[in-house]
Structure 1
Amino acid sequence: MTDSLHTLFAAWGDPSPDTRAEKTDAAIGPGFYFSDPNNPAPIEGRDAYLDYITQFSAMMPGAAARVVAISEHHGHARATVDFEKDGQRMVRGQYFADLEDGKVVRLIGFTGIGEPD
């Protein structure tokens, strides 16, 4: 059920707009909603999301996002994601997802993994 999260984040590092879109289409459900701490407002819909990850690719050529841990229950998932460049982790984030029929319909991201100060 969580394969869609691996696929969704694999699109971030894909250099091809066509296969980036194919991966996204395979991973998201209708009415996709995405809230990321690096964007001033939530993103709604496939096209706006693809624009966002295209900007990521343009700003960080060769960078990628990789799911390193995941847990799931009752149609919800928590994924720890490493954003990497040249094999080095730049930042680790945590994402919370709502899943429907195996697809991501809502994704909320946070920088870090909630470590206590």
Structure 2
Amino acid sequence: MSDAIRNFFAAWGMEDAALRQSTIEEVTGASFAYTDPNTPDPVATVPAFLDYIAMFTSNMPGATAEVVDVSAHHGFARATVDFMRDGATMVRGQYFADLDDSGAIIRMVGFTGTGEPA
């Protein structure tokens, strides 16, 4: 389960669009939805999500998304992710995923920060 989450975020830093697509397709289920504070609306398909992370890659060349920690149980996962550029953390986020029976991601919801008090 944690491999799917780690590979999902590793794809954010892949400049090779074909490799990014195959990586995302390997870790997502038959249905898939994604949202975070930067999506204007929830993303409802893998192709639309690929467009979203292509925009990230284009706007932030060399940036990566690195999983700091991941835990999973009963078909759910939680990941803390650092978005990095030039060796520095730009932002840390917390992501929650619903997984299918095979461990593929069917829904990912992201939040900026990790819920610490302001």
Matched position secondary structure for 2:62: coil
1:102 maps onto 2:103 in alignment: yes
**Per-residue deviation, residues 18-69 of structure 1 (Å, max 9, x unmatched):** 1000110111011100011111110011100000000000100000001110
The one-letter amino acid paired with 1:90 is M
The one-letter amino acid paired with 1:52 is Y
CA–CA separation in structure 2 for the residues paired with 1:73 and 1:102: 10
1:63-102 to 2 correspondence within 5 Å?
A: 63-100=63-100, 101-102=102-103
Gaps of 5+ in 1: none
Count the aligned residue pairs: 117
CA–CA separation in structure 1 for the residues paired with 2:2 and 2:86: 26
Instruction: Give the percent of matched residue pairs that are identical in Structure 1 and Structure 2.
Output: 51
1:16-31 to 2 correspondence within 5 Å?
A: 16-31=16-31
CA–CA separation in structure 1 for the residues paired with 2:25 and 2:87: 27
Pairwise CA distance, 1:15: 0.6
The one-letter amino acid paired with 2:59 is M
CA–CA separation in structure 1 for the residues paired with 2:69 and 2:57: 23
**Per-residue deviation, residues 42-97 of structure 1 (Å, max 9, x unmatched):** 00111000000000001000000011101111110100000000111100000000
The one-letter amino acid paired with 1:109 is G
Gaps of 5+ in 2: none
CA–CA separation in structure 2 for the residues paired with 1:29 and 1:2: 15
TM-score normalized by the length of structure 2: 0.97
TM-score normalized by the length of structure 1: 0.98
- The match for 1:44 is 44
The one-letter amino acid paired with 1:37 is P
CA–CA separation in structure 1 for the residues paired with 2:70 and 2:104: 15
The alignment's C-alpha RMSD in Å is: 0.6
1:2 maps onto 2:12 in alignment: no
